[in-house]
Each structure stands twice: as C-alpha cells, then as structure tokens.
Amino acid sequence: MSKIATEFKTFINRGSVLDLAIGVIIGAAFGKIVTSVINDIIMPPLGLILGNVNFTDLKIIIGGAADKPVTLNYGNFIQVVFEFLVIAIVIFMVIKGFNSMKKKEEAAPAAPPEPSATEKLLGEIRDLLKK
C-alpha cells in the first residue's frame, strides 16, 4: 500500500471524520424533513389565513420579455426564512436539552476515590498508635 493510501486510511479511520460524515448525512435528511414540514404543514394554513396565498408564487416582475419575465421571488425567500427559523429553533432546543443533561451529570456527586496503598498503611499506623 502506498504512503498516501496509508495516510488516507488513517485519516478516514479517525472518529471525528466519521462522526462528521454521519452528521452531514443526518443533517441532509433532517433538512428534507424540515422542508416538508414547512411546505406541507405550516405554510398551507398560513397561506389560507392570509387569503389563499401560496408563498412560493409570490413575486414581483421587474423586467424582461412577456414570455420570460425577470422576477424577484420574495415568496420563496419567506419560505426559506421559515425553514431556517424552524431548524434554528430545533437545534437550539436539542443543544439546550443536551446541556441540561450534561449539567445534571456534573452536579451528581462523585464517589470519593479509593485510598491508595500508602494512605491505607498510614491509616493502619494511626489506628495502631491510638491503641
């Protein structure tokens, strides 16, 4: 095996690289779920409340020919902002939960360490001297 292949194998086998790859894959899948929640569950009722508005159809024509107009798609921008906010809130809640679990673990009193052999011997000497 060549030196480059060995170095690459070592690089890939590091836990942090694998964790990052798994995080990216799960993040992409989570992004699709969030997009579906926004597009299919949140935005339709919101559009209905606002008078049967489909946000992705909202745009301003700023020029171009009649058959190919140039538009500012601000409705799509609104939709993407909602997606970002939902993702940010979910990430905030996950991190907040993780931090509270971590604080509980840190707050739990740790058992005192087992005395070393020297400490045990000194304790026995002390007890003998008391007698």
| Among candidate residues 25, 30, 45, the one with its CA nearest the CA of residue 90 | 30
Looking at domain 3-110, its CATH class is mainly alpha
Distance CA 77, CA 48 (A): 18
Span 15-71, pLDDT tens digits: 677 788 888 898 888 888 888 888 888 878 887 887 887 778 889 989 888 788 899
Instruction: Tell me the C-alpha to C-alpha distance, in Å, between residue 44 and each of 35, 41, 53, 65, 85.
Output: 13, 6, 8, 31, 17
Please count the CA atoms within 13 angstroms of the CA of 42 that sit on its side-chain side. Answer: 15
Q: Which two tokens stand for residue 104?
A: 């509980």
* pLDDT (tens digit per residue) in 116-125: 889 888 888 9
Residue 72's pLDDT is: 92
**Per-domain residue ranges for the chain?**
3-110
Is the pLDDT confidence value at 13 over 80? no
Q: Are 54 and 73 in contact (CB under 8 A)?
A: no
CA angle 71, 72, 78 (to 5 degrees): 140
**In terms of residues, how long is the chain?**
131
Both tokens assigned to 60: 């301003």
Asked if the model's pLDDT at residue 99 lies above 80, the reply is: yes
**pLDDT for 15:** 66
The predicted model scores a pTM of 0.52
